[in-house]
């Protein structure tokens, strides 16, 4: 039988662990309880090099992340917070040069300019450019890996944007 001191010790050790786990969850993390709705405007592609699917894919991925990681409702009319901006850069560059000046790897970089408008608390509004990249084997064509790379980079960009807007990391 477990004595009273052991129960208190177990509770003292387990309670902070459980609380830390609960605080680490993204669900409603640091979102002002007065914020109930959001809007994500279409992110136009203003990059010098354009992928025709990127704007739609990025815009939808950002909406999906907010819906999945919060209890906010999407609306087009009088949202509490808004996200708008554009695809600022879409570049492919060689990296990891080999002897003889050829490259064994290439890098796809995507940059997105985001304007976050907070109608509930205007001092929490911000503007920022987020940039992420993914490397791929230079022996592969961009066409062969592009969709996968865009999905990977979009996931990273959206995670960064969500954290800046709602998690305050």
Distance CA 82, CA 114 (A): 10
Q: Which letter, b or e, does each residue of 144-156 get, where b requires 16 or more Cβ atoms within 10 Å of its Cβ?
A: ebbeebbeebbee
Residue 53 is classified by DSSP as T
* pLDDT digit string, tens, across residues 11-64: 555 555 444 444 334 444 578 999 999 999 999 999 999 999 999 999 999 999
**Cross-strand bridge partners of residue 110:** 90, 132
* Number of helical H runs and strand E runs in the chain: 3, 6
* pLDDT given at position 5: 61
What torsion do the CA atoms of 52, 57, 58, 63 make, to the nearest 10 degrees?
150
Is pLDDT above 80 for 129? yes
Q: What is the pTM of this model?
A: 0.79
**Cross-strand bridge partners of residue 113:** 86, 129
* pLDDT digit string, tens, across residues 67-115: 999 999 999 999 999 999 999 999 999 886 666 656 689 999 999 999 9
pLDDT band at residue 134 under the 50/70/90 scheme: very high
Residues 6+ apart with CB under 8 A from 56: 42
pLDDT band at residue 167 under the 50/70/90 scheme: confident
Domain 30-167, CATH: 3.30.160.150
Domains of the chain by residue range: 30-167
129-148: average pLDDT: 93
């Amino acid at each position: 039988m477990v004595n009273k001191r052991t129960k208190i010790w177990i509770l003292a050790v387990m309670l902070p662990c459980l609380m830390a786990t609960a605080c680490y969850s993204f669900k409603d993390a640091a979102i002002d309880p007065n914020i109930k709705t959001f809007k994500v405007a279409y992110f136009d592609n203003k990059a010098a090099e354009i992928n025709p699917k990127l704007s739609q894919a990025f815009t939808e991925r950002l909406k999906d992340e907010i819906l999945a990681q919060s209890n906010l409702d999407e609306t087009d009319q009088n949202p509490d917070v808004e996200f708008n901006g554009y695809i600022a850069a879409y570049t492919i560059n060689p990296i990891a040069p080999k002897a003889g000046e050829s490259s064994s790897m290439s890098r796809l970089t995507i940059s997105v300019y985001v304007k976050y408008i907070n109608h509930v608390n205007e001092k929490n509004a911000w503007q920022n450019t987020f940039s992420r990249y993914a490397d791929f084997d230079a022996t592969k064509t961009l066409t062969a890996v592009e969709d996968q790379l865009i999905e990977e980079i979009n996931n990273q960009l959206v995670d960064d944007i969500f954290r800046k807007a709602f998690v305050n990391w």
